[in-house]
Structures are given as structure tokens and as C-alpha cells.
């Protein structure tokens, strides 16, 4: 019934298996990938004809994790998988970015790649298997795809590169770098690093690229045995040459428009030229074809000008960074804030400090974890002068936010040194190139403005590439148009000590290590320049937190006292929080964190906790409250939840007929600890204490 094709190889000590022909046979391409015992089903399906009037390539990549892969039942009311998690969205982008440039520009059929995690062995990450499987499924599908690609993860442990570190090793590595590429070169890089040098980062890319070549060969071998017949590419329309001839006559107007530095004015001028081209062509030609050929002409004009003259759209040379204005403390009531402006890109970043109760709970296949650092990136339509829908964050916003998160996280203080939950929100108020790197710069300033003790400030810069044949130009601090019309988007973030995050996307088949080295060196110069401009606003964290930020007091208590603070059903801790206005977090190791906006609130809560955990001391006088009267004396609550007995003979000097003659329930009294019985119960005395002054009468009489 099944005709199964299988390819297996030993990949750095871990078995990698590619299998097709048994599952999902109606898909154009379907491959089951196993890395160790982590298994991912990857499918590819493409429509056989594009929709009428469609002028773009509708590629969708969906990576989805099934809870059963880890032997779990999903949480929530419905007990089934719901909207994609942040990790699923990020991995979908990881798969999309390297495969998208490998489809021919003339291919416009709707294409969908779905990667489903079926098993997770808790050692091998499924994202690498999913990227390999997506490539293999496309190669088998017959869809015009100029692959295959492969992917790998590279770690840096004890000064050595590690290929595909396990889940456990990820806690030890100073580098988490994922890359994908073809035999010829690298197409995509995504990484987080602990301030590593440019040489180490470049070495990691080269190490990973060499290591994944056997996987590319395995996919080729599998495709040669069972790939479907390749689909024919769409033929170029007959009228293409005629349209190109007309558009060629507008070279100078396009070139003049692209010398206008202001983005809004430039777009207006380009709109006029485009309208003139369409008017001259008339209505007889296909509008979609005309539009695509105009875009191609614009790309040729911009790219050719940069390669010939070295001058860019806004008049800069290839290495100059746009003017920067950095401000800290931009918003008066925020815990920390900044406004970072670089040319026509602007990010308003706000830092908010919270407690352990504000940590983000992450429910992943490998288990539940908590994060005390969140970064949320928002890109409203007004930032590019447009009107548009405002809704939940899209894949782009999640991806850009994660990139900035990776860049800043290595410099944050350890949780035990700074026990706050940190949330950064970046509102992009203007955009013309690399708003994610503006978020990094603004985020660093906002954190320092909030008093977060960063080891060093962090900055980021976006690099571009124009490459025609052997000629190329690496561009620092690219504009939006240079991003769209160029061949590379290369973002590097870090401190003066090294790189903390690197992201690269290539729109051509590959780039050489030489170009990457030039881009990294040029990015370092740009990053140091930006750090210098940021230092004009703030050089280090402010000495204290904002008045509106919670102040956290940390204390340690014996483990057997935890339940005394919590109380039955949480009664005591809830009562402390309600009466003092403070927030209290208790860790399993006995660490107690008390957070309060006002000093008085925090001090009151700390005092209550200390009373609860304190042990009564012989001869010490305490304030107490009568909680019960009996014939033989009164029970007094005097130290947190502790009660002691004042025997009737210790209520006053002389004989006492009835306890209620001296005190009643609810009375506030002063008591002295005079002993402990065989069961540890506390013996108290009122008569040995002056009830007005609290003086120790026994001590006075001894004198």
C-alpha cells in the first residue's frame, strides 16, 4: 500500500531520518523528519495557477506544536491547541525567511508549508528538524523551488562551537545561533549572544554552514529518488519588451526622484513618475505586469546609482549613520522612558517595573517556565503615514520585538540582584528603516532611566547590501527603500564589549564570508558611533528607582515558617496585603519579596512578616491583644499569629476573682514572656509590665 522512501544519516552523533511516502500522501510534498526522537511532519502544497490580477507571491508557513508530542494535555477551558504561541510564530518566521528568496519571481501560485511537531524527546529542538523538513517537502513537491536548504543551531560552550546543542546544553551556552542556507552560502541567521566578538560570530556562521552541507546532500539524494516532475515556469508575457522600452525612457525622472532625501516628498515624486509611465502606456497593457516592471526599474536605478557613485538616496555615503537625537526620561509618570530618533525612524520606549506576580508564564513542550523580562513592539500605521487596521500584533511585530529582546537580555542584571519583573513597550512613532534597532537603542535608555543596572548600554544598527556580479556595496543604517530594493537585511546589536544579537536575511542566493566580514566590521563602527550619541542622554543607570516604581525588600525565612505566613487557605498573607497595600512573593527556598510603592506600606508588611516568623524570647516585652478569656486566665496574641497564656495569677498583683475584671476580649495589653511549658506553650505576665509605659517592673525593682 505504501511506497516508502527513506534517507538516514548520522549528523554529529545524532541520527537524522527523512522519510516520505507513508503519511500525508495527498500533499504535493510530505516528509517526516526525525532528529533523535524528535519528529516533525512537514508538508508543502501549491495551487496550480495564480489568482487573476495577483502581483505577489502568497507564501504561508505554519509551524505548530501539538501538546501530545510531549505527553501533555493543553491547558485552558477547551483543552485543545488554540492560537499560535509566540514560539510557534517565531519558528514559522525562521522557516519562511530562508525559503522565500528561493522561489522564482514569476511564480505567483498560492503556496503553503505546514510543519507539525509530533514528538519531542526533550533533547533535540524541533525547529531545526522543521526547517530541514520544509526544505525537503518543497524539493519533492515539484513546485519551482531553487533549494534545497538546510539549517543548524550553533552554541558556544567553554570556548568551543557546539552543533545543535541539546535542550540541557542551552542553559550553558553563551551563543544561540540558528542559520539556514544552501551549498553556496548562508541565507538566514538569527542569534542571541553574551557579548561575543565579531570574529566568534562569523566563525559560528561558517561552522554551522559547513556542518549542514551533509543534510543538503541527503535531501538531494531523497529528491532524486522520489521527487515529482517539476512544474513549468510561467512564460514571460509577449508585451514585456514593449512595456520595458517605454519605462526605460523614464530613467532620469526616476533617478531624480530618488535623490530627494525627505521620505514623504520622495514618495510623492515617485508617484508622479509612476502615473506618467502608466499614462503613456495607456490601458491596453496588464496593470499588474506594468506595476512589477516599474518596481524592477526603480530597483535598477537605485542599485546602479549606489554602485557607480557610492551615494545613497538621502545623499549619504555607504558608512554614514543618520542624525541621532536620544532623550531619556521622556514621560513624566513612567518608571523609565526614552525617545530615540534616528533620521526618520523614531521609537518611544517605556519601561515598567513589577513584581514576581507579574512574570510571564510560558507553557512550552519542554515544560512550564517564567520570564521576568518582556519586550512588546508595536507598529501603528501612522508611523509610515498610512491609515490602517489596528489589532493584535502580527508576525512581524512579534519577530521584531523578539530580536530587540534578544539584544537587551544578555546585559540585564541577574534576578537575585534585581528582583523585578521588567516590561518594555516600544511604540514606533515614525519609521523609515530599522525600527527594531531603534527599539534596542531606546530600550537600553529606558531601562537605565528606570534604574535597571545594565552592565553596559546596548545599541543596534541595520546593514544593507547591493550586489551586481562581482561589484557590491555594504550600506550602514539602511532606509526603508534600501531595504526593499537591496539584497540583504543585516541587523547587529551589542555593547562596546561585543555582539548580543545578530539577524540576517538574504534576498539573493547567498553571500560570501568576505561580504559578511565587511558587514560585521562596518556594523561595529556604526554601533560604537550610536552608543556615543546615546551617551549624550544617559551613560548608566540612574541611582534610584522612580517614586512610582515598587520598592522590593528581600528577606529570608525558615522553610517551616512559610505556611505560617500564608495561613490557612492563604488567609494571613491575603490579610497582610489588604491592610498594608503591599505585594508579597514567597519562593520555595524561603525567599520573601515584599513590594510596595510607598515606604510605609513596605515597612508595615515587613514588620508583620517578621512578627510571624520571630520566636518569642524569654524576658522580652511585647504588645498583644486579648483573644480569649477563661476562668484560669487570658490568651493573648502577641507575636504575629502566636498566642500565649497569662495565668490569672499573672494578671495583677494580689488576688483576682474573675479574669474579666482585668481584661476583656479585644483589649490591647503589654505582656512579658516568663517561660515555656513542656509542650512549648508560652507563659506570659501582665503584672510584671507597666501597662501604660511598657516598663519592666521586675527590672526596676531589682535596681
Angle between helical axes of 240-248 and 287-309 (0-180°, round to 10):
50
- From the list 502, 523, 521, the residue with the least C-alpha distance to 205 is 502
The answer to whether residues 26 and 101 belong to one domain is yes
Across the chain, what does the average pLDDT equal?
Answer: 91
- Give the model's confidence band at 702: pLDDT under 50 very low, under 70 low, under 90 confident, else very high: low
636 shares its domain with 587: no
Q: Which of 613, 630, 654 is at the close of a domain? A: 613
Strands 621-630 and 459-468: unpaired
Does residue 541 lie within any of the structural domains?
A: no
Residue 277 has pLDDT above 90, yes or no: no
- Mean pLDDT of all residues in 264-287: 84
Say whether both 609 and 626 belong to one domain: no
Specify if 318 maps to a domain: no
Same domain? For 595 and 652 the reply is no
Residue 237 has pLDDT above 80, yes or no: no
Nearest partner of 447 among 328, 534, 550, judged by Cα: 328
Beta-strand pair 59-65/111-119: parallel
Q: How many domains does the chain have?
A: 5
Asked if 469 and 362 sit in the same domain, the reply is yes
Between 409 and 698, name the one with better pLDDT: 409
Which pLDDT belongs to residue 512? 79
DSSP annotation string for 21-36: SSS-TTSSEEEEEEET
Does residue 93 belong to any structural domain of this protein?
A: yes
Q: Are residues 211 and 116 in the same domain?
A: yes
Q: Is the pLDDT of residue 322 over 90?
A: yes
With H, G, I as helix, E, B as strand and everything else as coil, classify residue 529: helix
pLDDT confidence of residue 351: 97
Nearest Cα residue to 5 out of 150, 229, 218: 218
The rounded percent of the chain whose pLDDT value lies above 90 is 57
Residue 546 resides in a domain: no
Interval 56-67: pLDDT, tens: 899 999 999 999
Confidence at residue 470, expressed as pLDDT on a 0 to 100 scale:
80
How far is residue 104 from each of residues 93, 241, 405, 594, measured CA to CA in Å? Answer: 20, 19, 34, 60
404 and 508 both lie in a single domain: yes
Angle at 587 between CA 583 and CA 592, to 5 degrees: 50
Euclidean distance between CA atoms 465 and 240, whole angstroms: 28
Residues 437-477 have pLDDT tens digits of: 999 999 999 999 999 999 999 999 999 998 888 888 899 99
Q: Compute φ and ψ for 286, nearest 5 degrees.
A: -65, 125
Residue that is written with C-alpha cell 503591599 in the block: 582
Distance CA 683, CA 618 (A): 9
Region 274-300: mean pLDDT is: 82
Q: How many CA atoms lie within 13 A of 541 on its CB side?
A: 18
Residue 290 in any domain: the answer is yes
Q: What's the pLDDT tens digit per position in 158-212?
A: 999 999 999 999 999 999 999 999 998 899 999 999 999 999 999 999 999 999 9
Q: How buried is residue 138: exposed, middle or buried, by Cβ count under 10 Å (0-12/13-18/19+)?
A: buried
In sequence order, what DSSP letters do the residues of 257-312 get, joined into one string? HTT--SHHHHHHHHHHHHHHHHHHH-SSS-HHHHHHHHHHHHHHHHHHHHHHH---
Give the domain CATH number at 679. Answer: 2.40.50.140
Asked, for residue 545, whether it belongs to a domain, the answer is no
pLDDT digits (tens, 9 = 90+) for 558-608: 888 888 888 888 888 998 899 898 899 998 888 889 998 887 888 888 888
Q: Is residue 305 part of a domain?
A: yes
**Are the C-beta atoms of residues 136 and 31 closer than 8 Å to each other?**
yes
* Highest mean pLDDT, choosing among 21-35, 612-626, 627-641: 21-35
Q: What is the CATH number of the domain that holds 253?
A: 1.10.10.400
- Please tell me the distance from the alpha carbon of residue 227 to that of residue 142, in angstroms, as a whole number: 7
Q: Which of 362-371, 404-413, 490-499 has the weakest average pLDDT? A: 362-371
Range 32-46 average pLDDT: 97
CATH classification at residue 576: 3.30.1370.10
Last residue of a domain, one of 613, 638, 667: 613
The CA-based angle 288-97-48, given to 5 degrees, is 45
Q: Are residues 474 and 372 in the same domain?
A: yes
Asked whether 463 and 520 are in contact (CB, 8 A), the reply is: no
On whether both 348 and 408 belong to a single domain, the answer is yes
Does the pLDDT at position 511 exceed 80? no
Q: Do 382 and 305 share a structural domain?
A: no
Shortest CA distance to 452 belongs to which of 353, 306, 561, 552? Answer: 353
Distance CA 454, CA 540 (A): 7
**Residues 355, 583: contact at Cβ < 8 Å?**
yes
Residue appearing with cell numbers 497569662? 646
Which SS3 state, helix, strand or coil, does residue 62 take? strand
Q: What is the mean pLDDT of residues 30-52?
A: 95
CB 164 within 8 A of CB 124: yes
Question: What residues contact residue 465 under an 8 Å CB cut-off, 6+ apart?
Answer: 472, 473, 474, 475, 486, 487, 488, 490, 511, 515, 519
Asked if residue 287 has pLDDT above 80, the reply is no
The pLDDT confidence band at residue 105, using thresholds 50, 70 and 90, is: confident
Quick check: 703 pLDDT over 70? no
Helix axes 395-408, 435-449, angle to 10 degrees: 50
Length of the chain: 703
Q: Which domain holds residue 627?
A: 621-702
pLDDT at residue 371 greater than cutoff 90:
yes
Longest Cα separation, the chain? 120
CA distance 650 to 661: 13
Domain endpoint, select from 226, 261, 277: 226
> Three cell numbers at 210?
559547513
DSSP category for residue 683 = E
Percent of the chain residues past pLDDT 70, beyond the cut: 99
For residues 272 and 343, state if they share a domain: no
Q: Could you read off the pLDDT of 248-264 as tens digits, one per residue?
A: 888 888 888 888 888 88
Closest C-alpha among 394, 557, 328 to residue 60: 394
Residue 35 lies in a domain: yes
Q: Name which residue leads in pLDDT, 273 or 533.
A: 533
Query: For residue 96, which of 188, 231, 212, 192 has the smallest C-alpha distance?
Result: 188
Q: How far apart are CA 649 and CA 352, in angstroms?
A: 58
Give the number of other Cβ atoms within 10 Å of residue 697's Cβ: 16
pLDDT at 680 over 80: no
pLDDT higher than 90, residue 246: no
Give residue 36's pLDDT. 96
Q: What is the mean pLDDT of residues 295-314?
A: 85
Q: Are residues 18 and 129 in the same domain?
A: yes
Q: Which strand (E) or helix (H) includes residue 555?
A: strand 551-556
Q: Quickly state the pLDDT bin for 510 (edges 50, 70, 90).
A: low
What does the pLDDT read at residue 282?
Answer: 79
Interatomic CA distance for residues 66 and 172, integer angstroms: 27
Top mean-pLDDT range of 139-153, 252-266, 631-645: 139-153
8 Å CB contact between 426 and 409: no
Domain CATH for 106: 3.30.230.70
Amino acid at each position: 500500500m505504501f511506497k516508502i522512501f527513506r534517507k538516514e544519516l548520522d549528523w554529529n552523533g545524532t541520527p537524522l531520518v527523512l522519510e516520505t511516502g507513508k503519511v500525508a500522501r495527498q500533499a504535493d510534498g510530505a516528509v517526516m523528519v526525525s532528529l533523535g526522537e524528535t519528529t516533525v511532519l512537514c508538508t508543502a502544497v501549491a495551487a496550480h495557477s495564480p489568482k487573476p490580477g495577483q502581483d505577489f507571491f502568497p507564501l504561508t508557513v505554519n509551524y505548530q506544536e501539538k501538546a501530545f508530542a510531549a505527553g501533555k494535555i493543553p491547558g485552558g477551558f477547551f483543552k485543545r491547541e488554540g492560537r499560535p504561541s509566540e514560539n510557534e510564530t517565531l519558528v514559522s518566521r525562521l522557516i519562511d525567511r530562508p525559503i522565500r528568496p528561493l522561489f522564482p519571481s514569476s511564480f505567483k501560485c498560492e503556496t503553503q508549508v505546514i510543519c507539525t511537531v509530533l514528538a519531542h524527546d526533550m533533547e533535540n529542538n524541533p525547529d531545526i528538524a522543521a526547517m530541514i523538513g520544509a526544505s525537503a517537502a518543497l524539493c519533492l513537491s515539484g513546485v519551482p523551488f531553487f533549494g534545497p536548504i538546510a539549517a543548524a543551531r550553533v552554541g558556544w560552550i567553554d570556548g568551543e562551537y557546539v552543533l545543535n546543542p541539546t535542550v540541557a546544553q542551552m542553559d550553558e551556552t553563551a551563543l544561540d545561533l540558528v542559520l539556514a542556507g544552501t551549498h553556496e552560502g548562508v541565507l538566514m541567521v538569527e542569534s542571541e549572544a553574551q557579548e561575543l566578538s565579531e570574529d566568534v560570530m562569523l566563525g559560528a556562521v561558517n561552522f554551522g554552514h559547513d556542518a549542514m552541507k551533509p543534510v543538503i546532500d541527503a535531501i538531494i539524494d531523497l529528491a532524486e529518488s522520489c521527487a515529482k516532475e517539476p512544474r513549468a515556469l510561467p512564460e514571460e508575457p509577449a508585451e514585456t519588451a514593449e512595456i520595458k522600452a517605454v519605462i526605460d525612457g523614464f530613467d532620469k525622472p526616476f533617478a531624480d526622484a530618488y535623490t530627494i532625501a525627505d521620505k514623504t516628498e520622495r514618495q510623492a515624486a515617485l508617484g508622479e513618475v509612476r502615473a506618467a509611465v502608466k499614462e503613456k502606456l495607456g490601458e491596453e497593457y496588464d496593470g499588474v505586469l506594468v506595476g512589477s516592471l516599474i518596481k524592477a526599474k526603480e530597483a535598477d536605478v537605485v542599485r546602479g546609482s549606489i554602485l557607480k557613485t557610492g551615494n545613497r538616496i538621502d545623499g549619504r555615503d555607504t558608512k554614514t549613520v543618520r542624525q541621532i537625537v536620544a532623550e531619556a526620561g521622556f514621560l513624566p509618570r513612567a518608571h523609565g522612558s526614552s525617545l530615540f530618533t534616528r533620521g526618520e525612524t523614531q521609537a518611544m520606549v517605556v519601561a515598567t517595573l513589577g513584581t514576581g506576580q507579574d512574570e510571564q508564564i510560558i507553557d512550552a513542550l519542554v515544560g512550564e517556565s517564567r520570564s521576568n523580562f518582556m519586550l512588546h513592539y508595536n507598529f501603528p500605521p501612522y508611523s509610515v503615514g498610512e491609515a490602517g487596521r489596528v489589532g493584535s500584533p502580527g508576525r512581524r511585530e512579534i519577530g521584531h520585538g523578539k530580536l530587540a529582546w534578544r539584544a537587551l537580555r544578555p546585559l540585564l542584571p541577574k534576578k537575585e540582584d534585581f528582583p523585578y519583573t521588567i516590561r518594555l513597550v516600544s511604540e514606533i512613532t515614525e519609521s523609515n528603516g530599522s525600527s527594531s534597532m531603534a527599539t534596542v537603542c531606546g530600550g537600553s535608555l529606558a531601562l537605565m532611566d528606570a534604574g535597571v543596572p545594565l552592565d553596559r548600554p546596548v545599541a543596534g544598527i541595520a546593514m544593507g547590501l547591493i550586489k551586481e556580479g562581482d561589484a557590491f556595496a555594504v550600506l550602514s543604517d539602511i532606509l526603508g527603500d534600501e531595504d526593499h530594493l537591496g539584497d540583504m537585511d543585516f541587523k547587529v546589536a551589542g555593547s562596546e564589549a561585543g555582539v548580543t544579537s545578530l539577524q540576517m536575511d538574504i534576498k539573493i542566493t547567498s553571500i560570501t564570508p568576505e561580504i559578511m566580514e565587511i558587514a560585521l566590521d562596518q556594523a561595529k563602527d556604526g554601533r560604537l558611533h550610536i552608543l556615543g550619541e546615546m551617551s549624550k542622554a544617559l551613560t548608566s543607570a540612574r541611582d534610584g528607582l522612580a517614586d512610582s516604581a515598587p520598592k522590593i525588600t528581600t528577606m529570608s525565612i525558615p522553610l517551616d515558617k512559610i505556611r505560617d505566613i500564608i495561613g490557612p487557605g492563604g488567609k494571613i498573607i491575603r490579610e497582610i496585603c489588604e491592610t498594608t497595600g503591599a505585594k508579597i512573593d514567597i519562593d520555595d527556598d524561603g525567599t520573601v519579596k515584599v513590594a510596595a510603592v510607598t515606604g510605609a506600606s513596605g515597612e508595615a508588611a515587613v514588620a508583620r512578616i517578621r512578627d510571624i516568623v520571630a520566636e518569642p524570647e524569654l524576658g522580652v516585652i511585647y504588645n498583644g491583644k486579648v483573644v480569649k478569656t477563661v476562668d484560669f486566665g487570658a490568651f493573648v496574641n502577641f507575636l504575629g499569629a502566636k498566642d500565649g497564656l497569662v495565668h490569672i495569677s499573672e494578671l495583677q498583683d494580689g488576688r483576682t476573682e474573675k479574669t474579666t475584671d482585668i481584661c476583656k476580649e479585644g483589649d490591647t495589653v503589654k505582656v512579658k514572656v516568663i517561660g515555656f511549658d513542656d509542650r512549648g506553650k508560652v507563659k506570659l505576665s501582665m503584672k510584671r509590665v507597666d501597662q501604660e509605659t511598657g516598663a519592666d517592673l521586675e527590672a526596676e525593682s531589682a535596681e
